[in-house]
Structure formats: structure tokens, C-alpha cells
């Protein structure tokens, strides 16, 4: 430990762009007890949209502005200099380049505890190089943090991590940032922007438009739901590489204006207030998704694929429904059960909000992070180079 009574924690990340992992850091780091912790953030690449908010919250954040490739050696030396300047007790890395550079820079410059924070339950594009590097660097890695107990089999069986190195700190959301509608009137201006009528039922999906999120299954389910509930509308919030093909699929399915492609939005709480239910259709990687936590905080039930840590979050039949991946008819059935009658959606939404407040609040996540950080800072370190 440093001579100071505060535990110094350095977070090393690719950037602070808008994403679940980045939002988690932007939410947790500024809330660490400043009488016990001194935290800093280093971005290997560009700063990202959440960089300035983190700095505005009083956290020192630095961008090395090294995008990768030939810039990796430069990033290594710049990071090593920052580590020596800050003299951290714990260095937490996330993202492959940050994990590789961060662990080596730490091991060659300080005796700080080296932690990798894993936020996935599977690998879509993990190269042989990444696998080899992770195995080689495991011997100098003291701990691995996860965000869901559903990750543990993946971390142990697929990544080969020893179980005693793993600590789970679940994500959290501040419920005070969301005001449940609970059957009250919708935001009239926002509903009008999307062309949503006052008595129409709205099912939303808030996720980047990438293949693993499987919006295609949602659209196919929407077709089935619309045949049973003609007043249902389907709100697709987010953007990404699959947008054009999803818009084309929506046309082919004959969804017309029942499918609303809203693009990226900064007013998530307001958008959720329009929804009677939300959906996540990912077939892999989800652990403790912020989109689901935010829906819970907004008092909205969710119908989600039973992957990763999602079954830990949803109480089947009480706060939402769990379905199998790639099953549009099963998803449609779950949606109908959640929103018909509409009073059922309100009841499940209230239960979801209560579950969030009890088990997945941001305050609970921060306190658990503090406990684990102080624990690992005092434990013996792994080998150095």
C-alpha cells in the first residue's frame, strides 16, 4: 500500500466511448469514497464521449492518443510513465490492448496488484494471438473481476483462469435517474416525435445494431406479435453496421410504421418511459447488460434471451420472461405474456424496479467495488517480470 491512507486505483481502458463497460466506469469511479480511494483513468486511444464527464466529476483522466498498431510501443512507454507518476496500489485493465499493455507496464514498473476486468461471457472474434497473450500474461495477473456469476464457467473453462483469482462485482444503475411511468400518461412530445399514439403498446429494444444482438429475431417476433396485438409498436433504439439490412428486413416482414428505427438517443430514461416492455435478443456475450438494468430502473418488464448473466437479473414470470436465442415465436409469446393485459406489464415493471433497488443499484455496486478493491490491494501480488 502507498504511504497515504488512501488506496490508489488506476483504470486503464481503450477509451471512454458510449457503451455499457465505459458507462460502468464513468458511473463507478467518481463515486468511490474519496477519503479511502484516489482513482485515475488512462485511455489508450482517443478520449471518447464520457471522458469529459469523468473529468468534470473530479477524476483525473488522461488520453494517450495511441490508436494501436505501430503506436503500441509508444502507448506502453507513456503508460509506464503514468504508472510511475501515480504509484497505484491496484491497476485495473479492460479491453485487449489495454489489458496487454497495462499488465506488462505495471509488472515492469511497480508492485501494484494487476487486475483484468472481464465483461463478456464468450468470444466472437478472439484471435489466436489474443489467446496466447492472455495465457502468457496470466502468471503476472493477480485477479480477474467479473460482473455476473454466469461468467464464471467461461472464465474458468474457456479462459483457463483459476477460480480463486475471480471476484464478481455486479453492474448497477442509479434508480433515482429513472422515474417509472407506472401506467401514467406518456411524454406527449416524445411520443409524437415517434408517431406513437396514446393507447398503443410499445415494445422497445435498446442495443447497438450488431449481429450478436440479433435484432432480426426481434423483428420476426414483432411480426407475430402485431398479428395478435394490432396496437403494438416496436421501437428500435441504437445504430450500427446492421441498420440497413434490418430496415430492409422490416419492409420484407410488412411491419410498416409499426417498426420505428430511432437511431442513437441520449435521452434513454425518457425513451424507456414510452415502453411497456423491453427486449434483449443477444445470443452471446451478455453478462449484466446496462440496457436491462436501465429498463428495471424505469419500471419496465423485459423479455430476454437466457444467456450469460441475464437469468440472474430476471425473475421469470415476476419481472419479465426468459426465452431461447434465435426463437422469434418464443420471443413473441414472451412479449404478449408481458404486455397483455397491460396491467400485467405494470405489475411486472414495479417488481423489476424493486429488484433493481434491492440487488442492482449503483450504490450497491460501488460499495462492493470498494470492498473488493481494498481486499485485493492488501493481498500478495503475482510474479513480476
Identify the pLDDT of residue 4.
59
Q: Which grid cell sits at 273?
A: 418511459
Mean pLDDT of 294-323: 96
- Whether 7-172+362-377 shares its CATH topology with 175-359 is answered yes
Residues whose CB is less than 8 angstroms from the CB of residue 295 and which lie 6 or more positions away in sequence, other chains included: 206, 272, 275, 278, 301, 302, 352
Burial environment of residue 87 by CB neighbours within 10 A (0 to 12, 13 to 18, 19 or more): middle
Q: What is the pTM of this model?
A: 0.90
- State the virtual CA torsion across 315, 320, 324, 328 in degrees, nearest 10: 170
Identify the pLDDT of residue 220.
98
Q: Which grid cell sits at 55?
A: 473529468
Alpha carbons within 13 A on the beta-carbon side of 342: 14
* CA–CA distances in Å: residue 24 to residues 13, 35, 219, 360: 12, 21, 29, 12
Q: What percent of the chain has pLDDT over 70?
A: 97
Mean pLDDT of 324-343: 97
The three-state DSSP-derived secondary structure of 300-316 is CCEEEECCCCHHHHCCE
Which CATH fold would you assign to the domain 7-172+362-377?
Rossmann fold (3.40.50)
Confidence check: pLDDT of 160 > 80: yes
Whether 327 contacts 217, CB under 8 Å = yes
Confidence check: pLDDT of 238 > 90: yes
- Residue 235: pLDDT band (50, 70, 90) is very high
Q: What is the C-alpha to C-alpha distance for residues 292 and 172, in angstroms, rounded to an integer?
A: 10
Least reliable range by pLDDT among 56-60, 67-71, 104-108: 67-71
- Nearest CA-CA partner of 303 in 362, 344, 250: 344
**Segments making up each domain of the chain, as ranges:** 7-172+362-377, 175-359
Backbone dihedral angles phi then psi of residue 161, each to the nearest 5 degrees: -85, 135
Least reliable range by pLDDT among 325-329, 331-335, 380-384: 380-384
- Residue 120: pLDDT band (50, 70, 90) is confident
Cis peptide before 128 (omega within 30 of 0): no
Confidence check: pLDDT of 1 > 60: no
Least reliable range by pLDDT among 59-73, 209-223, 247-261, 295-309: 59-73
- Residue 346: pLDDT band (50, 70, 90) is very high
Identify the pLDDT of residue 221.
98
Helix (H) or strand (E) holding 91: strand 90-93
**CATH entry, 175-359, from 1.10.3720.10, 3.40.50.2000, 3.40.50.300, 1.20.140.10:** 3.40.50.2000
Confidence check: pLDDT of 337 > 60: yes
Question: CB count, 10 Å around CB of 53?
Answer: 15
Mean pLDDT of 285-299: 92
Whether 42 contacts 11, CB under 8 Å = yes
Q: What average pLDDT does the chain have?
A: 93
Confidence check: pLDDT of 35 > 60: yes
- Residue 298: pLDDT band (50, 70, 90) is very high
Helix (H) or strand (E) holding 62: strand 60-63
Q: What percent of the chain has pLDDT over 90?
A: 83
Residue with cell 422515474: 179
Confidence check: pLDDT of 124 > 70: no
The DSSP code sequence of 319-350 is: TEEEE-TT-HHHHHHHHHHHHSSHHHHHHHHH
Crossing angle between the packed helical segments 96-107 and 128-137, to the nearest 10 degrees: 30
The angle formed by the CA atoms of residues 27, 29 and 32, to the nearest 5 degrees, is: 110
Residues whose CB is less than 8 angstroms from the CB of residue 229 and which lie 6 or more positions away in sequence, other chains included: 201, 336, 339, 340
Distance in Å from the first CA to the final CA of the chain: 20
- Residue 18: pLDDT band (50, 70, 90) is confident
Confidence check: pLDDT of 385 > 60: no
Amino acid at each position: 500500500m502507498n504511504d497515504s491512507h488512501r488506496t490508489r486505483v488506476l483504470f486503464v481502458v481503450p477509451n471512454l466511448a458510449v457503451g455499457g463497460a465505459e458507462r460502468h466506469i464513468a458511473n463507478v469511479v467518481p463515486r468511490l469514497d474519496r477519503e479511502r480511494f484516489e482513482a485515475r483513468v488512462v485511455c489508450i486511444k482517443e478520449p471518447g464521449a464520457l471522458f469529459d464527464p469523468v473529468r468534470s466529476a473530479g477524476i483525473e483522466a488522461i488520453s494517450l492518443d495511441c490508436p494501436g498498431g505501430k503506436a503500441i510501443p509508444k502507448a506502453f512507454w507513456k503508460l509506464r510513465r503514468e504508472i510511475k507518476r501515480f504509484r497505484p496500489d491496484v491497476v485495473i485493465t479492460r479491453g485487449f490492448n489495454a489489458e496487454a499493455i497495462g499488465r506488462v507496464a505495471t509488472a515492469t514498473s511497480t508492485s501494484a496488484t494487476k487486475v483484468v476486468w472481464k465483461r463478456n461471457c464468450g468470444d466472437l472474434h478472439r484471435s489466436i494471438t489474443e489467446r496466447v497473450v492472455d495465457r502468457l500474461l496470466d502468471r503476472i495477473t493477480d485477479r480477474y473481476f467479473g460482473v455476473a456469476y454466469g461468467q464464471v464457467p467461461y472464465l474458468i473453462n474457456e479462459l483457463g483462469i483459476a477460480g480463486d483469482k475471480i471476484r464478481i462485482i455486479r453492474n448497477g444503475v442509479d434508480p433515482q435517474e429513472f422515474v417509472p411511468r407506472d401506467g401514467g400518461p406518456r411524454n406527449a412530445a416524445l411520443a409524437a416525435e415517434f408517431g406513437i399514439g396514446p393507447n398503443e403498446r410499445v415494445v422497445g429494444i435498446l442495443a447497438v445494431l450488431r449481429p450478436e444482438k440479433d435484432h432480426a429475431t426481434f423483428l420476426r417476433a414483432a411480426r407475430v406479435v402485431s398479428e395478435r396485438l394490432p396496437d403494438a409498436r416496436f421501437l428500435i433504439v441504437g445504430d450500427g453496421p446492421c441498420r440497413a439490412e434490418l430496415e430492409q428486413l422490416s419492409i420484407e416482414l410488412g411491419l410498416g410504421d409499426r417498426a420505428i428505427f430511432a437511431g442513437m438517443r441520449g435521452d434513454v430514461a425518457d425513451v424507456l418511459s414510452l415502453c411497456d416492455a423491453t427486449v434483449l435478443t443477444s445470443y452471446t456475450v451478455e453478462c449484466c447488460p446496462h440496457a436491462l438494468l436501465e429498463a428495471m430502473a424505469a419500471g419496465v418488464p423485459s423479455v430476454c434471451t437466457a444467456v450469460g448473466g441475464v437469468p440472474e437479473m430476471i425473475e421469470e414470470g415476476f419481472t419479465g420472461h426468459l426465452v431461447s436465442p434465435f426463437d422469434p415465436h418464443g420471443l413473441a409469446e414472451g412479449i404478449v405474456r408481458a404486455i397483455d393485459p397491460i396491467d400485467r406489464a405494470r405489475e411486472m415493471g414495479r417488481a423489476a424496479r424493486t429488484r433493481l433497488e434491492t440487488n442492482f443499484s449503483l450504490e450497491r455496486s460501488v460499495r462492493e467495488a470498494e470492498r473488493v478493491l481494498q481486499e485485493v490491494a492488501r493481498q500478495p501480488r503475482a510474479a513480476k517480470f
